[in-house]
Amino acid sequence: MSKVIVVDDIKSYCEAVCERLRGMGIGAVGCYNVKKAKWLIEHASRNDVMLVDLVLKDESGWSGTDILRWMRRQGYHQMFFLMTGFGTMENSIETLELGAKSYIPKDQMDGKFYARIKDIMDEQNRIEMKENRAVFRRQSKAFQTVYKDIKDYAATGIRLVITGESGTGRQHLAEELMAMSGVEGNRYAHVDCTALSRMEHVEEYFFGHQKGAFASAVSPSDGVLEKADEGFLFLENVDRMPKDIQGMLIDVLENRRYRKIGSSRERFIRFSVVSTSCVSPDEAVASGIMLREFRDCICEGEVAVPPLRETKDDILPLANFFVEQFDPKKRKLSKEARKELESYHWPDNVRELMTAIKTAVARCHDDEIGIGHLNISKSDTTGFSIAEAEKHSIIAALKRNGNNKTRAAAELGMSRKTIYNKISKYDIRLEDN
């Protein structure tokens, strides 16, 4: 998802802004000097948003305006807000002429300003969803089965949990499902459940408040639930949602009703729910991290996304896609580089592959991208040797196919004879699956 990059040389202020943004469910990263800021910009998504202080006491001598000027010269066109406690009309005019979205005095960065940033980030995420959708039109048989399931579930509107390892593309599949559902305007509210444990005003975040509900409530505010009405509630990393918040949401999810803080009027809402998780909801309940009633509210269907090491046919098409995306020169991967990519077991899945290609493109000054430009390690950093990764892949495929060896072999692109040989070689006991 898109994020806000906050640049301010006063560390405490920078972190306070980041924490407020994170408390609203917005991804935020802070830095305190120009060197780090330039690095973050060079590695940023084009849908990220910059929030930069004008006056930076930095050894480079640069100001926030200098960062904006450098960005435009380098071809970086992320949305840019300049904030300052020392504003002048001259600064303001120059900043806007360079293409900044707005010039914000720090004493005006109130609730209304942060609500505006929230609306902007929701729109940036919708844009990013559309741009990234093509990444996961993958070609392996296993993934095509996943994609068919997503398409079928999109037509029914049932509440779905998409499970899989980090980096496999769960979020993009959730976004694909929402886009295919035909909801007008792709209306949805995104909740990053990993941020909820750090959030101070969780009830207000979900339910919103009426004017006068508390001292600082000078105007009414819509919560996440109202923004999801007639669309989707997207719970990312739902296995990381604290159990007290799960309990708070059960009545809403069961009966589709809630009250704003400070209001006695019940509001009725209609939305579909799609969630992502590293573990299946049943495993989450069994391990004690999810309430059984909450699981029943969010999970009417489940789709398991296989890791990249189990869908080898996807590696080169994805690698070529990323080269197209990140390399203005549209260079090709050498034969040796392709072989290296196919032989690696990708413990961090598609995200790691994307990073490897992005880095290779940056390091390559030749006519083609070679093995020397790839920065991947064959060391057993995650406890998987290549043989162990293959064994893990076979066990997972057998489990998904009810121990049917013919279907598992077809999914993995093996012959029936090959899978029998490997089951024997790795001493895989079917009764353990």
Kindly state whether residues 404 and 363 are assigned to the same domain.
Answer: no
Query: How many CB atoms within 10 Å of residue 264?
Result: 7
- On whether the CB atoms of residues 206 and 223 are closer than 8 A, the answer is yes
Let me know if 90 is exposed, middle or buried by CB neighbors in 10 A (0-12, 13-18, 19+).
exposed
Res 383: pLDDT: 43
Res 332: pLDDT: 94
Q: Is 404 helix (H, G, I), strand (E, B) or coil?
A: coil
Q: Rounded distance, CA 226 to CA 249, Å?
A: 14
Kindly state whether residues 239 and 329 are assigned to the same domain.
Answer: no
Q: Rounded distance, CA 229 to CA 204, Å?
A: 16
Per-residue model confidence as pLDDT tens for the chain (433 residues): 688 999 999 999 999 999 888 888 788 899 999 999 998 998 887 789 999 998 888 889 998 889 988 988 887 888 898 888 765 555 556 656 667 788 788 888 888 888 889 888 888 877 766 655 544 567 888 888 998 999 999 888 899 999 998 889 898 899 889 888 877 556 788 898 988 887 778 888 899 888 877 777 767 788 899 888 888 999 999 998 999 999 999 999 999 999 998 888 899 988 999 999 988 999 889 888 899 999 999 999 999 999 999 999 999 999 998 898 888 888 999 999 999 999 998 988 998 898 899 889 988 989 999 999 997 865 444 444 556 667 777 887 788 777 888 777 766 656 778 888 888 888 888 765 5
Instruction: Give the pair of three-digit tokens for residue 409.
Output: 């072999």
Res 263: pLDDT: 86
Q: What is the DSSP string of 120-180?
A: HHHHHHHHHHHHHGGGG---SHHHHHHHHHHHHHHHHT--EEEE--TTSSHHHHHHHHHHH
> Considering the domain boundaries, does residue 216 fall inside one?
yes
Kindly state whether residues 106 and 152 are assigned to the same domain.
Answer: no
Query: How many CB atoms within 10 Å of residue 106?
Result: 16
> Residue 308: which residues within 8 A CB-CB, separation 6 or more?
167, 168, 314, 315, 346, 349, 350, 353
Instruction: Give the pair of three-digit tokens for residue 40.
Output: 């973050």
- On whether the CB atoms of residues 226 and 272 are closer than 8 A, the answer is no
Res 285: pLDDT: 92
> Considering the domain boundaries, does residue 419 fall inside one?
yes
Which amino acid type is present at position 385? S
Res 379: pLDDT: 42
Res 137: pLDDT: 66
- Helices and strands per DSSP (H, E), number in the chain: 18, 16
Backbone angles phi, psi at 53, to 5 degrees: -75, 145
Residue 233 β-bridge partners:
189, 273
Domain end position, chosen among 328, 343, 373: 373
Question: Cα 196 to chain center, whole Å?
Answer: 15
Torsion angle of the four alpha carbons 403, 406, 412, 414, in this order, in degrees rounded to the nearest 10: 140
Write out the residue range of the structural domain in which residue 202 sits: 137-304
Kindly state whether residues 77 and 209 are assigned to the same domain.
Answer: no
Query: For position 354, which CATH number holds?
Result: 1.10.8.60
Q: What is the DSSP string of 39-69?
A: HHHHT--TT-EEEEES----TT---HHHHHH
Which of 40, 36, 102, 98 has the alpha carbon at shortest distance from 73? 98
Strand 208-209 vs strand 221-222: parallel, antiparallel, or unpaired? Answer: antiparallel
Total domains, the chain: 4
Instruction: Give the pair of three-digit tokens for residue 208.
Output: 């919103």
Domain end position, chosen among 271, 287, 304: 304
Instruction: Give the pair of three-digit tokens for residue 371.
Output: 């093995």
Kindly state whether residues 356 and 298 are assigned to the same domain.
Answer: no
Q: Rounded distance, CA 34 to CA 53, Å?
A: 11
Q: Rounded distance, CA 118 to CA 183, Å?
A: 21
DSSP code at position 106: G
Kindly state whether residues 188 and 290 are assigned to the same domain.
Answer: yes
Kindly state whether residues 319 and 296 are assigned to the same domain.
Answer: no
Kindly state whether residues 156 and 22 are assigned to the same domain.
Answer: no
- On whether the CB atoms of residues 239 and 289 are closer than 8 A, the answer is yes
Q: Rounded distance, CA 180 to CA 137, Å?
A: 14
